[in-house]
Amino acid sequence: MAGTDSTQHQTDITPDSAPAIILVQPQLGENIGMCCRAMLNNGLYDLRLVQPRDGWPSDKARAAASGADSVIDGARVFDSTADAVADLQRVFAATARPRDSVQTVMTPREAAPEIHAAARDSIKTGVLFGPEAKGLANDDVVMADTILAVPLNPAFKSLNLAQAVFCVGYEWYQTGLDMSAWHDGASTRETVPATKQELLHMFEHLEHELDKCGFLRPPEKRPAMILNIRTMFQRAHLTDQEVRTMRGVISGLTRKHLRGKN
């Protein structure tokens, strides 16, 4: 459907309140462009690309974006998913595949009010989308706090990348219109959720000490053990202060262990 009027503006929904859209290893420029179109349809502007297969910038992406140049021009490229979500405090992973982890699963409609509530508290959010052919890897999913699953025909849940982005963006945008009257309150939080970078540094600190003490053994079980530990902490939705406290606990236990050897 055609329908663009640059003189019209959205209501209280602003780019600052919108979640980032992170495309992990997207394969085709055309697909990225169609995602940009789906994003702008729903007032989303923050596009982050992790290792786009065919490089960036892309003329094919711009052509497929059908005028969503503001999203194309603002897109940022990252070397890893960890880098792309480093400044975010709440991350959702869009995936249709069942996982062994015990992360919370929501539909986009259920998650939309939470994303808006986070924005009112100045909490930065984002949604991860995986490569077209295989979706998100476990190492990407574990960086998220919540899994997003679109309720579709159980016998055929396949969506293309732009469809998936549109489903999430549409529910977020429509919920924002319904909640516009709520947008006049200031945050009363004394602490804020930890960023993904803060969490990653805590994980690396903890895993380093667990390797030193021999906990992460045998080697073949180490990846699964790390996945379980990280998922456990992600479910806790730690604040920045709690992460600092946890790192102090790790350092304190390490110092006590070293003193005990002397």
Domains in the chain, please, with CATH? 16-182 (3.40.1280.10), 196-261 (1.10.8)
In Å, what is the CA distance from 178 to each residue of 12, 95, 175, 183, 214?
A: 10, 26, 5, 11, 53
Q: Which pLDDT belongs to residue 37? A: 97
pLDDT of residue 11: 47
**In which order are the strands placed within the sheet that holds 47-50?**
76-78, 47-50, 20-24, 125-129, 90-94, 146-148, 104-106
Instruction: Tell me what pLDDT residue 166 has.
Output: 97
d(C-alpha 171, C-alpha 176), whole Å: 8
List the beta strands (DSSP E) in the chain.
20-24, 47-50, 76-78, 90-94, 104-106, 125-129, 146-148
Say what the pLDDT of residue 103 is: 79
pTM over cut 0.85:
no
Question: Could you read off the pLDDT tens digit of each residue along the chain, which spans 262 residues?
Answer: 555 554 454 445 566 779 999 999 999 999 999 999 999 999 999 999 999 999 999 999 999 999 999 999 999 999 999 999 999 999 999 987 655 667 789 999 999 999 999 998 999 999 999 998 888 999 999 999 999 999 999 899 889 999 999 999 999 999 987 655 444 444 445 678 999 999 999 999 999 999 999 999 999 999 999 999 999 998 888 988 899 889 888 888 877 555 555 5
Q: What per-residue confidence (pLDDT) applies to 230?
A: 92
Write out the two tokens for 178.
């319904």
pLDDT at 257: 57
What pLDDT is recorded for position 91?
96
Q: Please check whether residue 84 is in contact with residue 144, taking contact to mean a CB–CB distance below 8 angstroms.
A: no
Pairwise CA distance, residues 45 & 14, whole Å: 10
